[in-house]
Amino acid sequence: MRRLLESVLGKKINNTRVFPVTTKIILIFTLIILVSNLTSNYINLVYNRTEQLNLLKQLMAKDLMDIYGFANTQHEIYQYNRNLELSISGIRDRGNHLIKGDKSLVLGVKPDGKLLFQSSKIRALDSFSDRESLKSMSQSHGLNKDDGFIDFEFNKEKYIAIYKYNKKWDVYLVRGEEENEFYRSTRTIFRDISVIIIILTLISALVGIIFLKFIVRYLEIITASIMKMVQNQQLDLIDLKGAPNDDITYMGVAFNSLSNTINNLVNIFRKFANKDIAVKAYRDRQVMLEGTQKQLTVLFSDIKSFTYITETLGHDIIKLLNLHYDRAIREVIKYDGVIGSIIGDALLAVYGVFDESSANKSLQAVISAYRIHEVAESLRKKMELRKERIIAERGRLLPEEENVYRAVLLEVGVGIDGGEVFWGTIGSYVRMTSTVIGDNVNSASRLEGLTRIYKVPVICSEYVKDDITNNVENSGLIFVEIDTVQVKGKTTGKKIFWPIPEGDYTRKIKTDVSYFSQGLELYYAGDWKKAYRLFARCKLPLTEVFKDRTHNHDCPRKWNGIWEMKTK
């Protein structure tokens, strides 16, 4: 039933009902046909009534002449026997013999309005009450016009009549038919024919709907497909298989062509714009120069030894970067990250932009960081396999090939920080870009630089650690405090952490982390001599920088536990 109603009345899209064009066409044509046929029927009724009225007048004139002659005869009889009542009764009976209708009548009206006789089936009256009609007959008589047609009211009913003045009896002989009774048959015919017209029109409309829906069936398919696209906010192609060669099909083909073009443009646009910008542009049909303050997590990834790689590969550096970024960016997007910028060897990603995402932004950033490392490691393994194949074939690599091999063994560092930042679009309405601005953005870059010093793959801030440990159960990460540092350009120190996936947190690493953490406490406390001993027992590359700091056991004066970095 619902499908039938939707087929006739259409579907609601955003509280607006979309009426099918077939319904509108059928309704309009049905109304036109009904109005046309009923009008024709009414015009036919008017013509028929005119003809019937003319025929009635002829019949009434015949009856009037009959009663007129009979009245003259009765007057002669009256002159002979002087029996007025018998003569009047004879005229009345003659009149009753002539009339057929229930309200038909023959009257004998005196000039003063009194009735000489009344031949009818209705209640008998003593006088003719329609003084205007009586006056009209009298005026015509005064002008020597003793007969004619007249409309009058008798017994509260309207009559069509013909009259003739009878000089012998000094009366107006009137033969009349009541209007409603006379027109009753025509009204019945009009009603019956109108009902037949309406029924036939509705049947024709139903047949028309069937044929019209079949003819324009692909219009309904096109409309339904477009409605689905609007609901999904996604352009797609309309299935026109088996469609006839007409203008509706051409419209569908044109839409598919336009859809292809727009999809291509949107796909290209999405490659140059972030997902949130693409969604906003599709939803609002525009992108404004605007932004908001948001709590976001920022990931900064950088390729190590990029200068050497560039000098070695030359223009081929683009191919290498594309190999790396093609997979790295996919991992960022997979975990709801948004690309803030790509500058040569550096990649900036932002997490927490999408309000509909329920995942923890900092956890997504850390997972992405390790996925980026896996991408780089995968590329290194491929290069190692290729090197092994070349050595197996030729015995060794050429010096130039050795340089290229070292250059393509990409290693990356990742720094992650978060907090209150500005996220939005800046520029002009001629050219704009999405960006993230804030102290935490610069901090993420500085943390990435520290991965070279502390020799760990990922370094994050205390904000990232707290965001995960306080809001995520079973995050799968172990956070190891590395140091408290004051990076170049800052006046305060901040704790930095190494997030280790639980799968990589082996017993050996756990033991080494224990030595390091104990040593770090002593390092903070200024007991560098004992700290050095513990650092020496730790086999993690992380401890190399602390061994270097503490090897002479001299703790700086006014030591506050914060190490000030002199370089970026």
Q: What pLDDT was estimated at residue 403?
A: 85
Kindly indicate the confidence band of residue 291, based on its pLDDT and cuts at 50, 70 and 90.
low
Q: What pLDDT was estimated at residue 251?
A: 76
Compute the average pLDDT of residues 298-303: 94
Between 29-38, 320-329, 334-343, 510-519, the lowest mean confidence (pLDDT) is in 29-38
What are 119-126's contacts with CB under 8 Å, separation 24+? 119/91, 119/92, 119/93, 119/94, 119/95, 120/95, 120/96, 122/155, 123/155, 125/154, 125/155
**174 within 8 A of 106, measured Cβ to Cβ:** yes
Q: What pLDDT was estimated at residue 188?
A: 83
Query: Quick one: what percent of the chain has pLDDT higher than 70?
Result: 87
Quick one: tokens of 332? Answer: 């960022």
Quick one: tokens of 224? Answer: 């339904």
Tens digit of pLDDT for each residue in 238-255?
Answer: 777 877 777 777 777 787
3-state SS assignment for residue 241: coil
Q: Is the pTM of this model over 0.75?
A: no
Place of tokens 């920022």: 298
Q: How far apart are CA 349 and CA 453, in angstroms?
A: 22
Q: What pLDDT was estimated at residue 170?
A: 92
Kindly indicate the confidence band of residue 438, based on its pLDDT and cuts at 50, 70 and 90.
confident
- Dihedral angle sign, alpha carbons of residues 230, 231, 235, 236: negative
Compute the average pLDDT of residues 471-491: 88
Q: What pLDDT was estimated at residue 290?
A: 57
Is residue 273's pLDDT more than 80? no
Kindly indicate the confidence band of residue 270, based on its pLDDT and cuts at 50, 70 and 90.
low
Between 285-299, 321-335, 369-383, the lowest mean confidence (pLDDT) is in 285-299
Kindly indicate the confidence band of residue 532, based on its pLDDT and cuts at 50, 70 and 90.
very high
- Backbone phi and psi for residue 413, each to the nearest 5 degrees, phi listed first: -120, 150
Is domain 289-472 given the CATH code 3.40.309.10 in the classification? no
Kindly indicate the confidence band of residue 482, based on its pLDDT and cuts at 50, 70 and 90.
very high
Kindly indicate the confidence band of residue 416, based on its pLDDT and cuts at 50, 70 and 90.
very high
**447 within 8 A of 438, measured Cβ to Cβ:** no
Is residue 11's pLDDT more than 70? no
Q: What pLDDT was estimated at residue 189?
A: 80
Quick one: tokens of 497? Answer: 């952490």
Is residue 317's pLDDT more than 70? yes
Kindly indicate the confidence band of residue 2, based on its pLDDT and cuts at 50, 70 and 90.
low
Compute the average pLDDT of residues 203-209: 79
Tens digit of pLDDT for each residue in 110-131?
Answer: 999 899 999 998 888 889 989 9
Q: How far apart are CA 139 and CA 267, in angstroms?
A: 97
Query: Quick one: what percent of the chain has pLDDT higher than 90?
Result: 37
Q: What pLDDT was estimated at residue 395?
A: 81
Tens digit of pLDDT for each residue in 340-371?
Answer: 888 888 999 999 888 777 899 999 999 999 99
Kindly indicate the confidence band of residue 487, based on its pLDDT and cuts at 50, 70 and 90.
confident
Kindly indicate the confidence band of residue 545, based on its pLDDT and cuts at 50, 70 and 90.
very high
Q: How far apart are CA 306 and CA 314, in angstroms?
A: 11
Tens digit of pLDDT for each residue in 133-158?
Answer: 999 999 988 888 989 999 999 988 99
| Identity of residue 23 | T
| Identity of residue 547 | K
- Backbone phi and psi for residue 466, each to the nearest 5 degrees, phi listed first: -65, -40
**433 within 8 A of 325, measured Cβ to Cβ:** no
Compute the average pLDDT of residues 255-281: 65
- 528-537 and 507-525 helices, crossing angle to 10°: 170
Q: How far apart are CA 353 and CA 335, in angstroms?
A: 12
Q: Mean pLDDT in the chain?
A: 84
**158 within 8 A of 165, measured Cβ to Cβ:** no
DSSP 305: T
CATH of 25-186, one of 3.40.640.10, 2.60.40.10, 3.30.450.20, 3.40.50.2020: 3.30.450.20
Q: Where are the alpha helices (DSSP H) in 273-397?
A: 275-284, 306-313, 317-334, 361-394
Tens digit of pLDDT for each residue in 68-105?
Answer: 999 999 998 888 888 989 989 999 999 899 888 888 99
Q: Which residue has the higher pLDDT, 207 or 369?
A: 369
Compute the average pLDDT of residues 484-492: 80
Apex CA 341: angle with CA 335 and CA 342, to 5°?
A: 100
> Cβ–Cβ contacts within 10 Å for residue 285, how many?
7
